[in-house]
């Protein structure tokens, strides 16, 4: 613990020395410990009021309002990205305090890790106050500033200006995570006992509630809102089940018989014959989170990636299930390729989230290869070829069943 703290301080010092000579002495004698990375804080101004977000969406205002300790909107999650540069985010979302490099205004934007979305912290000597320096040096050294009209902006740093001095106070009570409502409808039990199906479902309800938040965080990082409820339907008559291999489906078209909700539809005979299988529920729940107008094979690959590389790694496909297939077959093949990309791309596993958010952004026009190229710089064919070249060069590395992270 102690060592860790020291090393974080050293990182900040290096940042300070590299950016503005002369500040090191101040930081070295910092009276106030750095915030806990990942902790949630109130950020109040020495000129009055507390930093408040408007909402979890791009371009949302960040203003200073009268301090109110019961307001969730006045809490922020602050995280050191490992280099002494901090994100200041709306809790449980990916929206970060972002400095517009054009006009130095400040607002909440989806965090893509750019320097103008990072701040380094300078504790003022003999004070609890921090200056939040923009990590992007464009236009000189600028700091988060409270404006007279209670807006915020980045302005040239001036340690003596109360409008640039902020206290960070850790919040004690975290707002509770609301439990997502889960409803069940028995439309067509396919000749099976509805009570047996219901009882199977009741055992999976908690899993769906627990996984929903995790899938949302993994797949979206809060980039968009998803449906605040889960509707599960047993319907042996769903058109997708005319194909015998389909166990479950996410139906994105609200239907009167499904409560007019986008729904996870389950095939009763599959559930009764495979009562231990929760993976297909997770796959369909991932589709609900994806909330994509189009996405095809890439969405199928991502849903299987979450299911088999995150939720239950025992389901990871081996090479024998991939050989002879192609990158755009979805499911095992695309999930296997996504795992390879996550290992090769500098963004690591967060590349999955970036891909998902881009598919959703492109809407009906989404095309898997175009999305992959936009986000990773290479299309599916090129990744697939490189993957097989790597497998041939070093088969054990890519066939290790324990390999994910
Ligand atoms: Zn699917």
Q: What is the mean pLDDT of residues 234-245?
A: 94
Q: What is the mean pLDDT of residues 213-224?
A: 94
Residue 354 CA to ligand 1 center (angstroms) comes to: 19
C-alpha distance from residue 326 to each of 29, 55, 313, 331, 355 (Å):
59, 42, 22, 11, 19
Residue 286 CA to ligand 1 center (angstroms) comes to: 8
Above pLDDT 70, what percent of the chain? 88
Residue 251 CA to ligand 1 center (angstroms) comes to: 10
Residue 253 CA to ligand 1 center (angstroms) comes to: 15
Residue 121 CA to ligand 1 center (angstroms) comes to: 45
Burial class, 108, CB count within 10 angstroms (exposed 0-12 / middle 13-18 / buried 19+):
buried
Give me the pLDDT at residue 100, please.
95
Residue 214 CA to ligand 1 center (angstroms) comes to: 18
Residue 341 CA to ligand 1 center (angstroms) comes to: 20
Residue 248 CA to ligand 1 center (angstroms) comes to: 8
Residue 332 CA to ligand 1 center (angstroms) comes to: 11
Give me the pLDDT at residue 399, please.
57
Give me the pLDDT at residue 383, please.
97
Q: Under a CB-based contact definition with an 8 Å cutoff, are residues 10 and 108 in contact?
A: no
Residue 365's nearest CA partner among 290, 293, 299, 303 is: 293
Residue 219 CA to ligand 1 center (angstroms) comes to: 15
The C-alpha atoms of residue 141 and residue 27 are separated, in whole angstroms, by 16
Give the CB-side neighbour count of residue 320, counting CA atoms within 13 A. Answer: 1
Residue 182 CA to ligand 1 center (angstroms) comes to: 20
Give me the pLDDT at residue 134, please.
97
Angle value at C-alpha 38, between 33 and 43, nearest 5 degrees: 60
Other Cβ atoms closer than 10 A to 257: 12
Q: What is the token pair recorded at 326?
A: 């192609």
Residue 197 CA to ligand 1 center (angstroms) comes to: 22
Residue 315 CA to ligand 1 center (angstroms) comes to: 15
Burial 37-55 (b: 16+ CB within 10 A, else e): eeebbbbbbbbebbbbbee
Q: What is the token pair recorded at 55?
A: 């909402």
The C-alpha atoms of residue 15 and residue 301 are separated, in whole angstroms, by 40
Residue 31 has pLDDT above 80, yes or no: no
Give me the pLDDT at residue 28, please.
42
Residue 304 CA to ligand 1 center (angstroms) comes to: 8
Q: What's the pLDDT tens digit per position in 128-172?
A: 999 999 999 999 999 999 999 999 999 999 999 999 999 999 987
* Top mean-pLDDT range of 4-13, 59-68, 79-88: 79-88
Residue 336 CA to ligand 1 center (angstroms) comes to: 15
The helix (H) or strand (E) run that includes residue 264 is strand 261-266
Q: What is the mean pLDDT of residues 116-131?
A: 94
Residue 283 CA to ligand 1 center (angstroms) comes to: 6
Residue 368 CA to ligand 1 center (angstroms) comes to: 15
Mapped onto helix, strand or coil, the DSSP state of residue 232 is strand
Domain range annotation of the chain: 2-170, 182-399
Q: Under a CB-based contact definition with an 8 Å cutoff, are residues 67 and 44 in contact?
A: yes
Between 2.80.10.50, 1.10.10.10, 3.90.45.10, 3.30.465.10, what CATH number should domain 2-170 receive? 2.80.10.50
Helix ranges, 20-139 (H): 24-28
């Amino acid at each position: 613990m102690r060592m860790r703290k020291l090393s974080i301080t050293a990182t900040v010092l290096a940042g300070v020395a590299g950016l503005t000579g002369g500040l090191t002495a101040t930081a070295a004698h910092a009276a106030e410990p750095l915030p806990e990375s990942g902790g949630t804080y109130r950020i109040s101004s020495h000129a009055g009021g507390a930093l408040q977000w408007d909402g979890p969406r791009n371009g949302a205002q960040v203003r200073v309002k009268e301090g109110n300790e019961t307001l969730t909107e006045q809490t922020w999650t602050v995280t050191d990205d490992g280099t002494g540069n901090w994100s200041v985010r709306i809790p449980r979302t990916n929206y970060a305090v972002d400095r517009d490099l054009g006009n130095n205004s400040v607002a909440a934007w989806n965090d893509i890790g750019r320097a103008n979305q990072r701040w380094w912290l300078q504790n003022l000597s003999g004070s609890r106050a921090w200056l939040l320096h923009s990590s992007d040096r464009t236009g000189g050294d600028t700091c988060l500033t409270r404006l007279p009209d209670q807006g915020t902006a980045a302005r040239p740093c001036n340690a003596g200006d109360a409008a640039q001095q902020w206290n960070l106070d850790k919040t004690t009570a975290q707002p509770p995570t609301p439990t997502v409502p889960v409803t069940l409808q028995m439309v067509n039990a396919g000749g099976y006992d509805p009570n047996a199906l219901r009882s199977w479902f009741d055992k999976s309800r908690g899993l769906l509630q627990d996984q929903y938040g995790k899938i949302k965080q993994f797949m979206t990082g809060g980039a968009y809102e998803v449906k605040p409820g889960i509707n599960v339907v047993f319907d042996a008559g769903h058109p997708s089940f005319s194909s015998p291999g389909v166990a479950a489906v996410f139906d994105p078209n609200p239907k009167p018989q499904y409560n007019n909700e986008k729904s996870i539809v389950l095939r009763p005979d599959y559930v009764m014959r495979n009562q231990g299988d929760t993976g297909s529920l997770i796959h369909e729940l991932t589709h609900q989170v994806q909330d994509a107008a189009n996405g095809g094979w890439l969405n199928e690959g991502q849903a299987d990636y979450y299911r088999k590389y995150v939720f239950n790694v025992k389901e990871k496909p081996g090479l024998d299930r991939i050989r002879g297939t192609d990158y755009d077959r979805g499911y095992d093949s695309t999930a296997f390729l996504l795992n390879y990309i996550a290992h090769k791309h500098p963004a690591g596993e967060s590349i999955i989230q970036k891909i998902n958010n881009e598919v959703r952004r492109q809407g009906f026009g989404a095309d898997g290869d175009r999305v992959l190229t936009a986000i990773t710089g290479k299309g599916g064919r090129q990744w697939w070829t490189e993957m097989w070249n790597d497998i041939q060069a070093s088969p054990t590395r890519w066939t290790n069943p324990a390999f994910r992270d």
